[in-house]
Amino acid sequence: MKPKAFDYLKVSSAEEALAALAQGGEDARIIAGGLSLMPMLNFRLAEPSVLIDISKIDSLNYIRETGGSVEIGAATRQADLMRWDGLERKLPLLHAACPYIGHYQTRAKGTVCGSLSHADPSSELPLCMAVLGGEVDLQSATGKRTLAADQFQTGMLSTAKQTGEMLVAARYPTAKSGEGYAFTEMAQRRGDFAIVALAAVVNANKIKLGIGGVADKPTVREWDVLEGDALDDALNEFAWDLGGYDDIHATARYRRELVRRLGRRVIEEAKSCRS
């Protein structure tokens, strides 16, 4: 329960961080809040050679609107996002999802981009990014590229981020008029990892439902607007297609039932709050 030895470097600019990443090679890791990485270190599931601490880089600590999206910097904490006064209006899905992210105590230090980088299949922030169709900026000492959510997260705890790259910013599309948003999840206790997490976006023509906690990454399905039995059938098919498994927290059957029941509920809620 103690990390393996590593070097530590606190940097004061993104350039410095990228230079250190380039020098550190494949075993260098970025740390911001540490809420995902530190448990991995304590369990020795991650054994980096050097930790590069970006938590004090002011230029990476921001929330700003940029052409139809809200951009969040790599050092911005989940608690900062929750306190952002535009959250309910601009990102209603995240406004609904944020209270489910860990606990008050962990959101105080955990970052938005850290959660995205960690890529836990049951995490709320990657699920919201997947269902809204957001994107992330990956920067290295030699260049920058932008990846869509579904290209970025490749599986359980894995992303397309390559050696030398840092996730510098995440963009969540802002709410559009005529769309409704809703989020819910089932966990053993408030703040625990979700057994199933669900995020819905509904407009006049389409229903989009994202599911976390079942497959190895958030999975999104889109339908034309469905009602009644047709919606139940669609949810049932989606529940089976997710390929859930039994584990200590729940059976695959229970997970499918949650997708069917809560899926219906979250879609109805999103419909009812369409602006």
Partner 1 sequence: MPQLSKDVRHTVTLTLNGDVVSGYAEPRMLLSDFLTHEIGITSCHVGCEHGVCGACTVLVDGTIMRACLTLAVQAEGTTVETSESLASDDNELSELQLAFKKHHGLQCGYCTPGILMSLTAYLKETPKPTEEELRDMLSGHLCRCTGYVGMVKAVLDYCENRTDG
DSSP for residue 246:
-
In this chain, which of 22, 34, 87, 223 binds partner 1, going by CB under 8 A?
A: 34
Nearest-10 Cα torsion for 69, 79, 49, 126? -50
CA distance 121 to 53: 25
Residues in contact with partner 1, counted by CB under 8 A, come to a total of: 35
Q: How far is CA 38 from CA 8, 32, 33, 192, 212, in A?
A: 13, 10, 9, 17, 23
Q: How far is the CB of 124 from partner 1 (least distance, A)?
A: 15
Is 53 a binder of partner 1 (CB under 8 A)?
Answer: yes
Binding segment for partner 1 among 95-103, 157-165, 234-242, 265-273 (CB under 8 A)?
Answer: 95-103
The reply on whether position 245 binds partner 1 by CB under 8 A is: no
Buried b (16+ CB within 10 A) or exposed e, 21-46: beebeeebbbbbbbbbbeebbeeeeb
- Could you tell me the smallest distance in angstroms from the CB atom of residue 227 to partner 1? 34
Residues linked to residue 197 through DSSP beta bridges, in sequence order: 185, 212
Asked if 50 interacts with partner 1 (CB under 8 A), we say yes
**Least distance to partner 1 from the beta carbon of 238, Å?**
30
Q: Which residues bind partner 1 (CB under 8 A)?
A: 1-12, 20, 34-35, 38-39, 41-43, 50-51, 53, 55, 99, 102-106, 108-109, 189-191
